[in-house]
Structure 1
Amino acid sequence: MSVALVAGEPSGDVLAARLLSGLRPHLPEARFHGIGGPAMMEHGFESHWPMDKLTVRGLLAVIPRYREIKGIQNQLRDRLIAERPSCFIGADYPGFNLGLEMQLKDAGIPTVHYIGPQIWAWRGGRIKKIIKAVSHMLVVFPFEEEIYRKAGVPVSYVGHPLAEMIPLLPDEGAARRALGLPEDANVVTIMPGSRMSEIKYNTAAFVGAARLLLKRDRSLRFVAPMAGEKQRQLFLQIVAQAGLQDVEIQLLDGQSHTAIAAGDAVLVASGTASLEVALFKKPMVIAYKMMAAEWQILRHFGYQPWIGLPNILSRDFVVPELLQDAASPENLAEALWRQLADAPHRLQLAERFTAMHHSLLRNSAQESAAAVMKVIGK
């Protein structure tokens, strides 16, 4: 038996690895193959192409890479149709995976998509393609089940893997000791993003905000986790170009969860990282900047007043969101100062985020594996 999977970026690699950890005990002799990263390979996964061949951020950035990526998709499609795996699982990355899933499903190969594209936030018309492409959808937010069920797409809510990875009661003191920070320090965690484009557009504003905060409180300590050496070098380059070298920031090799746990407040780029901050029960400011042309395209597409996952799940602006021009150093610093200084607000946030954590907590490996086993008839 073989099961094919595709993850196109690090978050999908982690997601698929969690699923594989649940599937492997049920299918100990199965071959798992396709395209994936190091987390999937720890479970015996065979990747036919390096995952970074697919990793592209942004609408405009994909254009020069389109022919190469489309070529990989076509080659993988032909290989899978010839080999007839028991099912195909697309781990997020919908731009690539939904198109591939549609062709495989037409060829009689069952398809699973994990996780559901955010059609409740934008591009709701995608549901028509999903109906044609997906045999079974795995979703990570409770409210998504009804959306797909109403559309006639078989669906299972499997919980969010991050809710299992992050403790309900994080140990701030242990995190600070691990990073060599005084336990009584005032710590701000800076997370401009893991992708190079995010670092390119967010860094100067984020570090500029840190400089302004230091003018209010010289005792503040700043930590910033870096996803890799390339990200670290670009971060340092942008800081130097902006003349912000005087801002002392402790750069970390990975350790994003330790950095969040250690912080009193977090300045975070919009995305999954904002949900991680919420699960650590931390006050935050969500911000995002991008290429101006891309912003002009995307700013009209959203269906909701929120872009940050903590706010979307709360159906309220429980934490500030500052986007594009609004994400100036001055605005970010002011918003962060309020998060640091308002003690009652911090307690209220912790309560809301604890309830959110419980709502997302399932054994996602077992739940997702059980859904896949039903799809393949076992």
Structure 2
Amino acid sequence: MPNASHDPVRSGAGRPLVYFIVGEPSGDQIGGHLIHALKRQTGDGVDFGGIGGPAMAEAGLDSLFSIDLFSVMGLDYLPRLRTILARMKQLERDVARRRPDCVITIDAQALSGHMGRRLARRGETLVQYVAPTVWAWRPGRAKVVAGRLTHLLSIFPFEAPWFEPHGLPVTFVGHPAAEPDPPDPANVARFRHRHAGEGASPVLCLLPGSRRKEVRRLLPVYRATIQRLKSAGLAPICLMPTVASIRDLASALTADWPAPLVALPADATRYLAFAAADAALAASGTVTVELAFAGTPAVVTYKLPRLEGRLARFLVNSPYASAVNFAAGEEIMPECLLEQCRPDTIADALAPLLRDPALRHAQAARIRAVAQTLSVPGRKPSAIAAETILRIIRERAQR
């Protein structure tokens, strides 16, 4: 490990400082697991700095400021741009002051890209955890990203060929959905009985996203979808895990819900909800891969304002929004996107899954098979990521 005696910020000589830049809940979960893995592999011999959310705080990070500011999408950045830029300047100053051995940016591509450009100019050792989805849109970004990073920690096995030709070392660590152990079936049965009883009604997991604008767009559509299902004699019991930052909004938007609804925290409990549900209605994103690992059949949704939707169609070069479908090379999880994200199309895709156990089991088997390709057998993603980061720190220190 590098000699840190030159740095008065550190708590002890020889302890490496790993600096995190994380801007959204999914990255916070990844960061929390990574901090724990780094501690395990060094006997708690690493110091941490930067920004993260509650999972990283629980693991031991004292965040420089709250990351809620960055949990916005697309053009929603504009009203907050001045504050966001000021916070980025603050981060840059803090990195310069603390001189970390390695800076880890996790997902949140707009934040990671902006900070990556700034820090690369300073010569920082920069590792990105979760690659930008160049396989889905703007593939030319791969060369730009490769030019500023020291290393890329990839969560999909098909990503390395996009970056390695540009000279960027890539380590496939596995998808974060492979991190938690599957819940015990007895616990799943108790969870379902507690929240849904023993009736014949199907159980549906609602996953409208983790960003407020996303939730505002999708929950009204989900409400109308549930109403259509109810009118067709198929009213499900709804389970809705939500992150803390959108819980108040989700509660307001689900008042007088047309079917029984149980709101849950989006912590480890959500894996019980996935396993207990007959099917899920989910915003496109990381959660669709989590559902694949759980073997929970799902319909994938994504909605944007008309102008942003047209722009997305112009930029996107993948036929699928869900990484599960992309990895499979076919639409296993039905997708209702943009102008097709309507109550009628969603209900038409969801009703057969709720009605037909054979159809559910068929989709579950296929998505589980895809999930197996998205992990390293017998290894946790955080353990592989931590090993890679510590190796990079050692190698850089020996130069």
Q: TM-score, normalised by structure 2?
A: 0.86
C-alpha separation in 1, matches of 2:223 and 2:274 = 17
Deviation at 1:302, TM superposition (A): 0.9
* 1:29 to partner: Cα distance: 3.5
Q: Show structure 1 runs of 5+ residues with no match.
A: none
Q: CA deviation at 1:115?
A: 0.9
Amino acid paired to 1:176: R
- 1:257 is displaced (CA, Å) by 2.3
Cα pair distance change 1:96/1:164, threshold 3 Å = closer
Query: In the TM superposition, what are the counterparts of 1:296-311 in structure 2 within 5 Å?
Result: 296-311=310-325
Q: Is 1:136 aligned with 2:136?
A: no
Describe how 1:256-275 pairs up with structure 2 within 5 A. Answer: 256-275=270-289
Structure 1 residues 274-285: aligned runs within 5 Å: 274-285=288-299
1:92/1:269 Cα in 2 relative to 1: closer, same or farther (>3 Å)? same
After the TM superposition, which residues 160-199 of structure 1 pair with which residues of structure 2 at under 5 Å, given as runs? 160-167=175-182, 172-182=188-198, 184-199=200-215
* 1:239 shift after superposition: 4.8
State the SS of the aligned residue for 1:61: helix
Question: Cα RMSD over matched residues?
Answer: 2.2
More moved, 76-85 vs 311-320? 76-85
**Counterpart for residue 364 of structure 1:** 381
The counterpart of 1:347, out of the listed 345, 361, 366, is 361
Counterpart amino acid of residue 278 in structure 1: A
TM-score of the superposed pair, with normalisation by structure 1: 0.91
4+ runs deviating over 4 angstroms: 168-172
State the AA in 2 paired with 1:15.
I
State the AA in 2 paired with 1:145. A
Partners of 1:248 and 1:326 in 2: how far apart? 26
Following superposition, the deviation at residue 145 of structure 1 comes to 2.1
**Cα gap change, 1:175 to 1:148, in 2 (>3 Å):** farther
Q: 1:202 is aligned with what amino acid?
A: L
Q: 2:236 aligns with which of 204, 209, 220?
A: 220
CA distance in 2 between counterparts of 1:179 and 1:146 reads 45
Which residue in 2 is equivalent to 1:52? 68
- 1:101 is paired with a residue of what secondary structure? helix
- Equivalents in 2 of 1:82, 1:232: separation in Å? 36
Amino acid at match of 2:392: V
Partner of 1:107: 122
User: Helix, strand or coil for the counterpart of 1:282?
Assistant: coil
Moved more, 158-167 or 342-351: 342-351
Q: Distance in 1 between matches of 2:24 and 2:333?
A: 27
2:260 pairs with 1:248: yes
Distance 1:363 1:128 in 2: 29
CA distance in 1, matches of 2:348, 2:49: 49
Give the direction of change, closer, same or farther, for the CA distance of 1:99–1:311 in structure 2 (3 Å limit).
same
Deviation of 1:179 after TM superposition, in Å, equals: 2.1
- Asked if 1 retains the 8 angstrom alpha-carbon contact of 2:30 and 2:382, the reply is no
SS at match of 1:334: helix
2:358 corresponds to 1:337: no
Q: How far did residue 169 of structure 1 move?
A: 7.9
CA distance in 1, matches of 2:309, 2:317: 15
8 A Cα contact 2:234 2:351, kept in partner: no
Counterpart position of 1:96: 111
Equivalent position SS for 2:238: strand
For residues 257 and 110 of structure 2, what CA distance do their matches in structure 1 show?
39
- Indicate the larger mover: 249-258 or 111-120: 249-258
Preserved contact between residue 283 and residue 340 of structure 1 (Cα < 8 Å): no
Structure 2 residue 52 is matched with structure 1 residue 41: no
1:320–1:335 Cα contact (<8 Å) kept: yes
SS of 2:239's equivalent in the other structure is strand
C-alpha displacement of 1:62: 0.5
The CA distance in 2 between the partners of 1:252 and 1:24, in whole Å, is 30
Note the alpha carbon deviations across 1:109-137, whole angstroms, 9 max, x for none.
21100011111111222123212211000
